[in-house]
């Protein structure tokens, strides 16, 4: 299977998996009383979908920006801008995101969606400006190739150590045509593969 058709298949599988997650996220939304939340945007909660197809492991993370930044508005100070840069650096550092046990997996590609892309530099007149309340989302997608996929035992999700805003991550997975889910937290963040 070529990489383009594999990516299309992966996109379709992740999209289908998200439909499994939406009801559980809606229930979590009812448990968290944040008057400014809408729909699946729940502070403290992220969604991680992962698929293993042969040698390829695809991981997709969606999270409110507040979980990783501590705020959801465009950075309006040098301190907030530095937090944004650090978050992006952390999302591109695999040692701070995931750790594979077995499988000899290497990163093939990553894509981080930054809702504040235009604010990586501040104009002098912007600093200290009032912040609009928005519900910014961060999406990170990673694709790995595993030389020995049958030897992949676990995936340690290190997001709780890297970003203190996560209380829970709802995970859905598809491995060799089977699917399931897990709720991850500070004490339970290991995904068993085989």
pLDDT score, position 27:
40
pLDDT score, position 32:
40
pLDDT score, position 119:
56
**Residue 15 vs residues 41, 69, 136: alpha-carbon distances, Å:** 17, 26, 20
Domain positions in the chain are: 3-29+41-117+135-192
pLDDT score, position 11:
52
Which residues of the chain carry a pLDDT beneath 50? 4, 8, 15, 18-39, 122-131, 133
Q: 102-152, pLDDT tens digit by residue?
A: 999 999 999 999 888 765 554 444 444 444 546 789 999 999 999 999 999
pLDDT score, position 13:
54
**What is the C-alpha to C-alpha distance for residues 42 and 103, in angstroms, rounded to an integer?**
33
pLDDT score, position 160:
95
Which residues in the chain belong to E strands, given as ranges? 45-53, 56-64, 98-101, 105-113, 137-146, 154-157, 168-175, 178-184, 190-192
């Amino acid at each position: 299977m070529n990489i383009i058709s594999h990516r299309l298949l992966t996109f379709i599988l992740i999209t289908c998996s998200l439909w499994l997650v939406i009801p559980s996220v809606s229930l979590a939304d009812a448990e968290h009383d944040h008057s400014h939340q809408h729909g699946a945007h729940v502070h403290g909660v992220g969604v991680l979908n992962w698929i293993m197809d042969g040698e390829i492991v695809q991981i997709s993370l969606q999270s409110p920006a507040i979980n990783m930044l501590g705020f959801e508005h465009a950075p309006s100070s040098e301190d907030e801008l530095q937090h944004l840069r650090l978050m992006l650096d952390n999302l591109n550092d695999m040692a701070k995101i995931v750790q594979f046990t077995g499988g000899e997996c290497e990163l093939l590609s990553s894509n981080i969606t930054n809702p504040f892309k235009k604010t990586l530099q501040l104009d002098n007149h912007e600093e200290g400006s009032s912040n609009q309340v928005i519900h910014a989302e961060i999406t990170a997608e990673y694709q790995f190739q595993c030389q020995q996929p049958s030897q992949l035992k676990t995936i340690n999700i290190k997001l709780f150590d890297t970003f203190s805003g996560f209380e829970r991550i709802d995970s859905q997975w598809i491995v060799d045509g089977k699917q399931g889910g897990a709720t991850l937290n500070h004490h339970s963040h290991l995904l068993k593969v085989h």
